[in-house]
Amino acid sequence: EKPQTMETIVPATAILLIGASVLYHTQRPKSPAKTSSKPDISLQDPDPNQAFLPELFETATKAKEVAYCPYSNFRVGVAVLTGSGKVYSGCNIENASYGLTVCGERVALFNAVTQGDQDIVAIAVSTDIEDHLKWCCGACTQVILEFGEHITVYSVRPDGYHERKNIRELAPYSFCKADLM
């Protein structure tokens, strides 16, 4: 029998860890069903936010116009719809110290929360990209998820074409409040 050395132990340990990770991600139980008064924002037609979309998309597009992005020139405008029917805006704000840059999604969310409106229903993200859609970054999806797994995110092109996804489609394995309960 061959003695165990680092050459034989490390690969076996790596396989065990990779297997455990795959098992965790494939067999992770779904979060418990929400029992709240929030509207059911499923992604089946018709779109439950249809009546709010023109205002939501226009607000996101206008917010993009004031984005502060002298380094990347990548303008992002965002609008957040809350359960009260109010719409809050935000844009990306860059900084010479790149790590201090704040995305438009977080600015819009923080604007809503600052006004005491935490019941987030939908978010629209507008960029200048014309040939495809851009979605939220990982940090923004995590912050959005903090306000609920029911939130619908819209990505809007300059020509008005848009698509929607549930926040869990953008962050399927992110850690959220439900994981702490």
Residues identified as active-site? 105
Q: Can you tell me the distance from the alpha carbon of 142 to that of 83, in angstroms, rounded to the nearest whole number?
A: 20
User: Helix or strand or coil: residue 152?
Assistant: strand
Residue appearing with tokens 């499923």: 42
Are the CB atoms for 120 and 82 separated by under 8 Å? yes
Alpha helices (runs of H) in 31-151, residue ranges in sequence order: 53-65, 104-114, 138-145
DSSP string, 76-97: EEEEEEETTS-EEEEE-B--SS
